[in-house]
């Protein structure tokens, strides 16, 4: 018999009920590859419609009450109105993501550029993000840079690090006391010889230099092949600097597939380390976000599925028999310890989660319920005229 | 003393003089990543201006007398006029590249699509390419597909292979007797779970089924990490099916950097296998093409440099002392054999190639000569109005 | 409710009951890395004791009735006696694996060596394997080579291919009419610059040249990072040349972990392609073998777990609703099609398999039953004196 | 004309003259893979003979005056005598490498083991290394661990980090004031699911916690595919924690090929960062060591070639026109900056280095001179009886 809600301890049940996953506004717009961005009927045309779509995900899953904004993609004249629009739909505005990679000026770098005028422009773009945070109530500024070089010799790797440190210092200094800076690393792309923040070590070095309110964002798709991501989770938690996840998945180089789609076992192992260290508690300061695009699949269902995949991995991680695991580990029972973990992973938690949703007044099957709702057909019919929002705008 | 022209055997000198490298028309337009396409002042606005730019590369290097076209990007009303325009500049129109990845209809596949109407449309696009070949005198149709899936289960891998085989058969059947089909494989992108032609084995299986005038295109950037590319060169030559190279380079996942920029030793090893097998002879049927874009660097200099890099690797490969190599190999002298190869690689062939160019009435230093010519400034001044050509159009 | 035996169709149930997995004799001896081979009390000391251990795996799982032998590691004076010893324990002798990588003569290659005397010795070693096959009743000769080079230039890649083709031809010619040759490829190791059979394309080229009774062995651990293995399964089935699997798993470079331990979803996807193509039928000619070592974990439990992992992946693959999958694929319902697959993967099939085992008179929990049996303690007590068998001997 | 000694600045010439590379004692013994260790006639049988062989490398290259020892492989009763033996041959005893991966007790970890007795044993092994340092005059203790796990769940990643930190602290506390601890990281192997010090970030975290005399060792073969190693060089220099290089090279997973053999351009880029930051100065505290084995090639020539490869890369790095590079970088001249670097790389520095050696009374061609010396034949004749030293003993 698969486990039911009644089989959970109060803490397990509470953690499942309290878990939240932040949605990216850009997941609802058109997206694609350098080869082609396919258009989707009914795609939102402005930040308000993106919020509407995000609210659908929350309506059916019950665990996605926040939306990340990307500035300037999601810039509006009146953020108070956007915040209110969101609140009316049960949504909070979350992390503010800066964008300093889509202006011709940033061709050779933003926060690392040797041209002081460009560097100042990039810093100013972040200061404007902090203004947005003040107006939206967001407490987190996420910095991901496209900075890097394509060719050996193109620029000085060392000098760029110094300029980066200086730029980040100026941004950090402008944060309010309740605001924090989240620095994201990425192994490659859009720069191909070197990126200026390629790995967790570099991100950690910079946030450590900045101060206590600077933390690292771990994007699950931003590592070299074969990297043990759960090990990095442990290291960043050990250093007290794991600020957030950007969840997604990939088979090879792209980092935009639905989280858990490529390697559900890896997602489970990551959540196992999170649960083991207590970082699932809302007070831990670790924010669970999605950072994905949906190039081929429908976007709202894509986000619903992503949230469900994280929730399933979390439920399985909570089911790990930690006492048995510890005992097997201490006796060096390799297969025994592995099987304690696999017992939880092999468990079908979908009945349990259906039960959880019903206990919260939700439909047990979010994808089916959304499909039945006719929302997509209405959006296609109503969202006529105007320019569709896309990943790049 | 570095070697001079006089040190070469007549065959070595002839092979260097006869070597040609085909340029891609799309290298001259704007290009970028899914994150941003940066604009470049003076970028060409139509196929005629692309030919003008390509002619500059040939003017200074003397080894790039052909240009590949991409259909429909390079579609013009009057291909005879384009051909004449090229001929006036010393340029021939080369390989025709089909494009069946930039239409909303191809979202779920082109030659592999389960929707017969879409599949017919994709086949027809290739038939139009054959029409273009008839008008341009091109003898090669290059087929690269963006086909594949992003998620396990999305489509049947096996059924797609069958549809691909059928579609290719229809295209192959429409080729003239002097025309050939070149099938290119790619490890990933724009599809991320599976691509329908991911490796040389798959490409070889399909071209073998088609017939004698179907061959494989090896793009140096389209392999898994760690793949020994020169081994594949040997295999395809052994099977008599190596039709062409698409040259470029990459450090990790992108395949668009200047050939030889990321790993010049690998390029040398590839050319060593080419020279060793006699495939450098113009009669071998192996076409040497560039397939690159220049996102950050200037485009004409980027192509000049690429041609020079291939030429340098070729010159070094020609310098390998094959008798000494064979002797060391047969006596299992590991270091000795390796050092025979490295002797050639360590040789500075730039003086030799400067001498070669001077003997052909060219400036010894193509990059400097082009920079002095003022061509870029004139292009910027003259190419005002109209839409710049870009990688994607 | 998880599915029970009664929920299966007769065909599904039959396929589960008929499935067999071949065990490698070498999994029961000591093994390790180039850094250290750890010793294990009770490890077998000769082929007879290896058979005893393998019989334990079959006794508890009911699905491992054959054992692969490695020659000369498993050479005995009297193979008839070994065969009888096995038969008494319900075990058949299966595939014969040649070993031409552990003799100083093979330092620079075996079937590819430029020294004709060494090459003849390597061919002869295979002829002796065929003799063993005649005596054991084995119908399959598996050829995996350590051949390759460590340094560019060390030997001629092309000449080695020619010598390999010639050597394989001589071996193939010596096979009886009911015997087949299975050629295994490996991306790297123990050669590090190039291996002579690195990929499925090379293996397919050679077996195609040999004749109808030559097929390819796919070892799941022998690919470049990011390779889509199930795609290769489809290709080899399409070519009619998939002869066998060597199952194991790996996170990065090693290929010796328990199958399914590193990426259980990948194993499921592979089995899904097997089931989809009908290759699970015993008549398909595809042999499912394990090729693993157990460096840290106990060996017999390691093999039991491996067999169970393959069985679980098979059961899940059988549960895929193929009609629903096909419908979703044809309507390009990306998420729908993916979810049909994931529904099967997310199902907990352990109760079903426990039921299956009980219906066969087996203990429902093989690992626990073996642990309770006291076999390991007895082996430790009885196997005193003599040299323990190890991976390398 | 290639550059000559007279073309160098006094500083460039001095840096070349002063450069030293430390040899590993284990490079002279037999080595291999988990598949086979091939035996070599004349291989040394004890640490004294290893020193003799190392002295040959120094005799012909003039730049390898130190030898690293591996304890217990190189344990002798009288280290004073070994030191004297070395001194008589112009060799100093260098870094002491601990070995806590070749004892059955360390099967589940050494400094990270949950069994306190094993952990104490591993710490004690390091204390004995410090004793050896006191007797040999070595100032550096290098710690590389085989610790890690093969299966998810096998042990607690986090608890192992805590135990590692504690163990390292005990070792660090026992160092003398003039001694330092060098912590090496490795991406994988011999553990395959996780290693306890997999990356530079982890190594940096630990040495930072230890104190000022703890630094990181960068082994060029210990990274994930696609990793930009020169970036890590810059980061570790920036943190003031780059203690040493272990040089070697690899194409895919092995890390034991001759440095510069797989990717000479990468070696040049690494040396370019070293030169750019001033870390080539002997006072920088960065030690350049080889960590290689020679499985197929002759061992003394393998070490000579390795030293020469590092020297060539260094000479090229010194030739980079730093003023021109800086100017091109500042003007964002991508191709220009890249070409400044490539100019140095394309230069043939072998004549310059021959000249340098002649100015030092050495033969201009070390490999040929060693081959002529007849040393290997004498060693084969004299080193009869006794057990050959091997990588693992």
pLDDT tens, position by position, B197-207:
999 999 999 99
Confidence of residue B164 (pLDDT cuts 50, 70, 90): very high
The HSE-up count of residue B277 (CA atoms within 13 Å, CB side) is: 25
Gap from A217 CA to chain D (nearest CA, Å): 15
For an interface test with A, the pick among B26, B36, B155, B191 (most A C-beta atoms closer than 10 Å) comes out as B36
Q: Which residues of D touch A202 (CB under 8 A)?
A: 201, 235
> Is D294 within 8 Å of D302 (Cβ atoms)?
yes
Contact C188 D251 (CB under 8 A): yes
Average pLDDT, chain B: 96
Contact D334 B296 (CB under 8 A): yes
Q: Which chains form contacts with chain D, at 3 or more CB pairs under 8 Å?
A: A, B, C
Integer CA distances (angstroms), B5 to A288, B104, B315, B355, B369, in order: 65, 54, 11, 7, 22
> Is D287 within 8 Å of D140 (Cβ atoms)?
yes
Secondary structure element (H or E) that encloses residue B143, with its range: strand B140-143
Judge if ipTM > 0.85.
Answer: yes
Q: Which residue of D has its CA nearest to B250?
A: D226
Secondary structure element (H or E) that encloses residue B266, with its range: helix B264-276
> Is D187 within 8 Å of D198 (Cβ atoms)?
yes
**pLDDT surpassing 70 at residue C393:** no
Contact D188 C262 (CB under 8 A): no
Instruction: Give the integer Cα–Cα distance in Å for B197 and D84.
Output: 64
Q: Which residue of C has its CA nearest to D34?
A: C34
The HSE-up count of residue C12 (CA atoms within 13 Å, CB side) is: 20
Partner residue opposite C158 with nearest CB, options B269, B277, B340: B277
Partner residue opposite C235 with nearest CB, options B114, B202, B335: B202
Q: Which residues of B touch C277 (CB under 8 A)?
A: 158
pLDDT tens, position by position, A235-264:
999 999 999 999 999 998 767 899 999 999
What integer is the mean pLDDT of B254-258? Answer: 84
- Report phi then psi at C59, rounded to 5: -60, -35
Q: Which residue of A has its CA nearest to B255?
A: A192
Contact A226 C252 (CB under 8 A): yes
Classify burial at A13, counting beta carbons within 10 Å of its beta carbon; exposed 0-12, middle 13-18, buried 19 or more: middle
Gap from B261 CA to chain D (nearest CA, Å): 9
Secondary structure element (H or E) that encloses residue D148, with its range: strand D148-149
Gap from A83 CA to chain C (nearest CA, Å): 31
Q: Which residues of C touch B114 (CB under 8 A)?
A: 329-330, 332
Q: Which residue of B has its CA nearest to A252?
A: B192
End-to-end CA distance of chain A: 49
Q: Which residues of A touch D225 (CB under 8 A)?
A: 224-226
Classify burial at B281, counting beta carbons within 10 Å of its beta carbon; exposed 0-12, middle 13-18, buried 19 or more: middle
Gap from D393 CA to chain B (nearest CA, Å): 25
Could you count the other beta carbons within 10 Å of the beta carbon of residue A203?
26
SS3 B114: coil
Provide the sign of the torsion angle of the four alpha carbons A64, A66, A72, A76, taken in this order: positive
- Report phi then psi at A323, rounded to 5: -65, -45
Partner residue opposite D35 with nearest CB, options C102, C251, C257: C102
Confidence (pLDDT) at D386: 87
Instruction: Give the integer Cα–Cα distance in Å for B195 and B224.
Output: 13
**What are C17's two structure tokens?**
């009951």
Q: Which chains form contacts with chain A, at 3 or more CB pairs under 8 Å?
A: B, C, D
**pLDDT surpassing 70 at residue C18:** yes
Q: Which residues of B touch D324 (CB under 8 A)?
A: none
Beta strands in chain C (DSSP E): 22-24, 66-71, 92-98, 140-143, 148-149, 180-184, 194-195, 214-219, 242-247, 287-290
Gap from C71 CA to chain B (nearest CA, Å): 27
> Within its chain, how far is the Cα of C296 from the centroid?
20
SS3 C33: coil
Contact D188 C254 (CB under 8 A): yes
> Could you tell me how many CB contacts below 8 A there are between chain A and chain D?
143
Contact A152 D338 (CB under 8 A): yes
Partner residue opposite C150 with nearest CB, options D35, D189, D296: D296
Contact A297 C346 (CB under 8 A): no
Q: Which residues of C touch B328 (CB under 8 A)?
A: 153
pLDDT tens, position by position, C67-104:
999 999 999 999 999 999 999 999 999 999 999 999 99
> Is A245 within 8 Å of A230 (Cβ atoms)?
no
Question: D200-210 and A200-210 are packed helices; what angle lies between their axes, rounded to 10 degrees?
Answer: 40
pLDDT tens, position by position, C199-221:
999 999 999 999 999 999 999 99
Contact A252 C348 (CB under 8 A): no
Contact A150 B257 (CB under 8 A): yes
Contact D335 B263 (CB under 8 A): no
Q: Which residue of C has its CA nearest to A229?
A: C251
SS3 D181: strand
Partner residue opposite C252 with nearest CB, options D192, D254, D295: D192
Q: Which residues of D touch C187 (CB under 8 A)?
A: 252
Classify burial at B212, counting beta carbons within 10 Å of its beta carbon; exposed 0-12, middle 13-18, buried 19 or more: exposed
> Is C317 within 8 Å of C275 (Cβ atoms)?
yes
Residues paired with A143 in a beta bridge? A183
- Report phi then psi at C146, rounded to 5: -90, 5
Go through the domains of chain D in sequence order and give each one's CATH number. Answer: 18-319 (3.20.20.150)
Average pLDDT, chain C: 96
Contact D161 A194 (CB under 8 A): no
Cα torsion for A200, A205, A206, A211, to the nearest 10°?
A: 120
Q: Which residues of C touch A345 (CB under 8 A)?
A: 264
Confidence (pLDDT) at B392: 61
A76-90 burial code (b ≥16 CB/10 A, e <16) = beebeebbebbeebe
Angle at C169 between CA C164 and CA C173, to 5 degrees: 155
Partner residue opposite B150 with nearest CB, options A34, A225, A295: A295
Per-residue HEC secondary structure of C52-75 comes to HHHHHHHHHHCCCCEEEEEECCCC
Instruction: Give the integer Cα–Cα distance in Å for C366 and D325.
Output: 67
Confidence (pLDDT) at B293: 92
* Residues 6+ away with beta carbon under 8 Å from A270: A220, A229, A230, A233, A245, A313
With a cut of 50, which residues of chain D have pLDDT below it? none
Gap from A134 CA to chain D (nearest CA, Å): 34
> Could you tell me how many CB contacts below 8 A there are between chain C and chain D?
112
Average pLDDT, chain A: 96
Secondary structure element (H or E) that encloses residue D53, with its range: helix D47-61
Classify burial at A231, counting beta carbons within 10 Å of its beta carbon; exposed 0-12, middle 13-18, buried 19 or more: buried
Gap from C251 CA to chain D (nearest CA, Å): 6
**What are B192's two structure tokens?**
């991320």
Helix (H), strand (E) counts: chain D: 14, 10
**CA nearest neighbour of C264 among C354, C328, C198, C350:** C350
Integer CA distances (angstroms), A370 to A46, A58, A302, in order: 22, 11, 11
pLDDT tens, position by position, C348-369:
999 999 999 999 999 999 999 9
Instruction: Give the integer Cα–Cα distance in Å for D280 and C66.
Output: 61
Residues paired with C92 in a beta bridge? C66
> Is D220 within 8 Å of D229 (Cβ atoms)?
yes
Cα torsion for C161, C163, C168, C171, to the nearest 10°?
A: -170
What integer is the mean pLDDT of C318-327? Answer: 98
A75-79, A84-88, D30-34 — which is least confidently predicted? D30-34
pLDDT tens, position by position, B345-369:
999 999 999 999 999 999 999 999 9
Q: Which chains form contacts with chain C, at 3 or more CB pairs under 8 Å?
A: A, B, D
**CA nearest neighbour of D96 among D139, D127, D64:** D139
Q: If you ran DSSP here, which 8-state letter would residue B37 be given?
A: B
Confidence (pLDDT) at D392: 60
pLDDT > 70 fraction of chain D, expressed in percent and rounded = 99
Q: Which residue of A has its CA nearest to D325?
A: A153
Integer CA distances (angstroms), B31 to A293, B251, B290, in order: 21, 18, 15
Q: What is the pTM of this model?
A: 0.98
Instruction: Give the integer Cα–Cα distance in Å for A126 and C148.
Output: 54
pLDDT tens, position by position, A198-242:
999 999 999 999 999 999 999 999 999 999 999 999 999 999 999
Partner residue opposite A334 with nearest CB, options D154, D156, D325: D154
The HSE-up count of residue A138 (CA atoms within 13 Å, CB side) is: 33
pLDDT tens, position by position, C98-140:
999 999 999 999 999 999 999 999 999 999 999 999 999 999 9
Gap from B309 CA to chain D (nearest CA, Å): 11
Instruction: Give the integer Cα–Cα distance in Å for A317 and A272.
Output: 5
């Amino acid at each position: 018999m698969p486990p039911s809600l009644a089989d959970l301890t109060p803490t397990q049940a509470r953690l499942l009920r309290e878990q939240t996953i932040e949605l990216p506004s850009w997941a609802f717009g058109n997206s694609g590859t350098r080869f082609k961005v396919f258009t989707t009927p009914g795609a939102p045309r402005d930040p308000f419609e993106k919020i509407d779509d995000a609210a659908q995900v929350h309506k059916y899953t019950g665990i996605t009450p926040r939306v990340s904004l990307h500035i300037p993609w999601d810039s509006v004249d009146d953020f108070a109105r956007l915040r209110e629009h969101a609140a009316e739909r049960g949504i909070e505005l979350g992390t503010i993501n800066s964008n300093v990679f889509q202006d011709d000026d940033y061709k050779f770098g933003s926060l690392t550029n040797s041209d002081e005028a460009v560097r100042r422009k990039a810093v100013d773009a972040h200061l404007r993000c902090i203004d947005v945070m003040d107006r939206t109530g967001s407490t987190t500024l996420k910095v991901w840079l496209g900075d890097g070089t394509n060719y050996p010799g193109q620029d000085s790797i060392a000098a760029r690090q110094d300029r980066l440190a200086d730029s980040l210092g100026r941004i950090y200094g402008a944060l309010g006391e309740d605001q924090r800076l989240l620095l994201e690393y990425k192994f490659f792309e859009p720069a191909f010889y070197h990126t200026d923040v390629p790995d967790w070590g570099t991100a950690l070095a910079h946030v450590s230099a900045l101060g206590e309110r600077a933390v690292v964002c771990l994007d699950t798709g931003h590592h070299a092949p074969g990297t043990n991501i759960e090990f990095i989770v442990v290291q960043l938690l050990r250093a007290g600097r794991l600020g957030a996840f950007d969840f997604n998945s990939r088979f090879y180089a792209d980092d935009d597939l639905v989280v858990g789609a490529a390697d559900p076992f890896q997602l489970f192992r990551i959540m196992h380390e999170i649960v083991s260290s207590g970082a699932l508690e809302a007070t831990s300061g670790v924010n669970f976000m999605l950072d994905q695009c949906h190039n081929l699949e429908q976007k709202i269902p894509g986000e619903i599925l992503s949230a469900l995949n994280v929730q399933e991995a979390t439920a399985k991680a909570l089911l790990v028999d930690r006492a048995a695991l510890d005992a097997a580990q201490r006796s060096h029972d390799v297969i025994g310890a592995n099987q304690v973990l696999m017992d939880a992973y092999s468990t079908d938690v979908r009945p349990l989660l259906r039960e959880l949703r019903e206990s919260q007044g939700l439909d047990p099957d979010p994808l089916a319920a959304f499909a039945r709702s006719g929302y997509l057909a209405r959006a296609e019919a109503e969202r006529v005229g105007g320019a569709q929002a896309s990943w790049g705008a």
